[in-house]
Amino acid sequence: MKLPNPFIIGSGPPGTNYQVMKKAFDEGWGGVICKTLSLDSSKVVNVTPRYAKIRDYSNRVFGWQNFELISDRPFDVMLAEMKRLREEYPNRILIASIMEEYNKNAWEEIIGRCEEIKVDAFEINFSCPHGLPERRMGMAMGQDPELLGEVCGWINGAAKVPVWAKMTPNVTDISHPADVALKAGCEGVAAINTIQCISGVNLDTLRPEPSVEGYSTPGGYSWKAVKPIALAKCTAIAKLIARDYAGQGKSLSGIGGVETGGDAAEFILLGSDTVQVCTGVMIHGYPVVKNLCGGLQKFMQKHDFKSIAEFKGKSLPYVTVHSELVKRQRDALAAKKARQGLANDAEWSGEDFVKNADSMAVNR
């Protein structure tokens, strides 16, 4: 897939119907991922309120919780709208986010029907942390490597276009399920989906929030607060790809708290090929892509980079294990103590004057 820029509308409300996806293309997004589809939308029932905003001390939205489910629109309706988009924007990247239960026939059917309308790729939602895991979908699959590998095998056996596996961060080591998905034939992975959370408790009502008839459920946490976690998780996957899949064309789509071109540059410097934005669009609107592109271009001009490929993964070699930091610091201190000569005139000593002079002689 060749995108006009690395910015993709991530799966969620910004890709929920024809009008909003059209708006994304018109504003200049490099690609659009539709809100996650399943064959039987009648099982998807949303509630309201389903979002909660967490603000910092300056009252800016810093975190965002949701327990919104996948698309509740009929599969045939979404497919017809995506077909219309495909016809109206033949040169733009349209990706189908899909999810199904543990049913090989269902996965094969949804893949075949999406390919009929010529989607460019699939993103497989193995990571939604709420609602769907109760049906052994979403995060429930992404947290079970054996199940994940089997389902990825079904998907890649049926799909004729590239497949990304969207990873859950709600695991100890995200590189393990990512490796399982890549070994099963996925062309790439996307990370991270939201982090399981409860936004807070109302201290007047004593009920957790967001509250639906006085009750709540853990949801997914996104936006600026998760960016450091997302960078670490993406780094682990990028190192896996560089070490075990070099030269195989495997890709990484970075997700998590991207608001500026500088944020995007950080993900790319740590190995991401593309960057997805979902919550950012819900806060700033679709035109934010212009600021993202402008900020990334400014960063590239500052460092004289002519292409994204020139700096993709450039910071990755500098992320290492803690013992390596200890060794490097110890070696640097030893080298400083063992340096030859004096650093400046203030270091001359009356007592050791001859020794000082000798320390700077080339043939001592």
List phi, psi (to 5°) of 103.
Answer: -155, 105
Asked if 128 is an active-site residue, the reply is yes
> 3-state DSSP call for residue 76?
helix
Helix, strand, coil percentages (3-state) for the chain, rounded to 5, are 45, 15, 40
The Cα angle at residue 224 between residues 188 and 269, in degrees rounded to 5: 45
Place of tokens 């001390």: 57
Q: How far apart are CA 2 and CA 134, in angstroms?
A: 37
Bond from prior residue into 169 cis (ω within 30 degrees of 0)? no
Which residues face 188 on adjacent strands? 164, 251
Q: Which pair of structure tokens corresponds to residue 112?
A: 């075949």
Q: E strands along 227-350, which residues?
A: 251-255, 274-277
Do 289 and 28 form a contact (C-beta atoms < 8 A)?
yes
Q: How far apart are CA 269 and CA 237, in angstroms?
A: 13
List phi, psi (to 5°) of 153.
Answer: -65, -45
Q: Which of 128, 186, 197, 278 is catalytic?
A: 128
Distance of CA 294 to the CA centre of its chain: 20
Please, what is the end-to-end C-alpha distance for the chain in angstroms? 64
Q: How far apart are CA 288 and CA 205, in angstroms?
A: 37
Q: Report the catalytic residues.
A: 128
